[in-house]
Amino acid sequence: MTPNDPAFYKELLDHMSDGVYFVDRERRILYWNEGASRLTGYTSEELVGRCCQDDLLCHVDLEGNHLCKVDCPLTASVADGCFHEANVFLLHKQGRRVPVSVRVQPLRAADGSIIGAVEIFRDNSTEVEAQRKAEEMRRMAFLDYLTGVPNRRFMEMSLNTALSEYEVHREAFALLSIDLDRFKEINDTFSHSSGDLALQEIAKTLTGSLRPTDTLGRWGGDEFQAIARNVNEATARTLAERCVLLAAETRIVSSDGKTISLSISVGVTLVHPGDDVRSLLHRVDELMYLSKSNGRNRATIG
């Protein structure tokens, strides 16, 4: 077999790990290599002569749009004579979705006219999984592993951002310091698993008590912080009191079946001119501890 023999090129293409197929201007499949069969489960006999419009591979983009109906790289390449690429998902013959990287080049006759297109595609699973893991790592770097709300690192960044915006635009915000009452007693009496459950349920309750635009995070231990933007003193007080009220309606059940009632102590303060992170945290912590010393299950604003 020599380079002058057409079978040489078929043999070469069939030994590629990438999938390769050719279509004419009507997107009828003229050639389907072994790599395409390995990646899709469909043999050359099953697909050659079929049209892409038959949608056997059901290509969809990252948003779930069917590419045979909209934004098909093959159609675009035949229409404009340009190179196109995309990351899509094909439907394997066995029913699973396979992420693939697609590259399409127009095929031209000797006179330069477009007679079809060639598509080369490869399994993109490794890259997709790497991206997913990287995103997960980025997400976990800012989330508290136990409660699923933002962690202290994220809250420190958010507080610095809120202060910077206040200095520039004078957009008022409130800082809430929220402490789970009798947390040590729950741990010591009912077990650490009950303490963990209490933190998880209080985090859910607080998330539902605050507005979608507010930011809640676990500051550490049994303490949470919340940043409420675009508020005045009355609004801040209402938010804090709603958190206290709904937390007092929260219950958990210990491993031995005992019902445990929960409550929180809250300190809340609005940002003042000249505040920095240290002054804000100091003031709001004092207010939270004042709520504790006055009997817990309450909010103190100042």
In order along its 302 residues, the chain shows pLDDT tens digits of 444 555 656 777 877 889 999 999 999 999 999 999 999 999 999 999 998 878 778 888 877 788 877 778 888 999 999 999 988 888 899 988 889 999 999 999 999 999 999 999 999 887 877 777 777 767 778 999 899 999 999 999 999 999 999 998 888 999 999 999 999 999 999 989 999 999 999 999 999 999 989 999 999 999 999 999 999 999 999 999 999 999 999 999 988 889 999 999 999 999 999 999 999 999 999 999 999 999 999 999 99
- Phi first, then psi, for residue 53 (nearest 5°) are -65, -20
Residues forming CATH 3.30.450.20 domain(s) in the chain: 6-130
How many Å apart are CA 56 and CA 51, to the nearest integer?
9
Residues forming CATH 3.30.70.270 domain(s) in the chain: 141-301
- Residue 227 has a pLDDT of 97
- Residue 255 has a pLDDT of 82
Asked if residue 229 lies in contact with residue 159, where contact means CB atoms within 8 angstroms, the answer is: no
- Residue 241 has a pLDDT of 96
Is the domain 6-130 a CATH 3.30.450.20 member?
yes
- Residue 12 has a pLDDT of 76
Instruction: Detail the DSSP E strand segments found in the chain.
Output: 19-24, 29-32, 84-91, 97-108, 114-123, 173-180, 215-220, 223-229, 251-253, 259-261, 264-270, 298-301
Q: What is the reported pTM? A: 0.60
Instruction: Detail the DSSP E strand segments found in 139-272.
Output: 173-180, 215-220, 223-229, 251-253, 259-261, 264-270
- Residue 1 has a pLDDT of 45
**Residue 14 annotated to the active site:** no
Question: Other C-beta atoms within 10 Å of 245: how many?
Answer: 14
- Residue 59 has a pLDDT of 83
- Residue 3 has a pLDDT of 43
CATH class of 141-301: alpha beta
Tokens standing for residue 296: 């817990």
Asked if residue 222 lies in contact with residue 286, where contact means CB atoms within 8 angstroms, the answer is: no
Residue among 181, 222, 275, 285 flagged as catalytic: 222
Q: Which residues of 53-78 are buried (b: 16+ CB within 10 A; e: fewer)?
A: eeebbebbeeeeeebbeeebbbbbbb
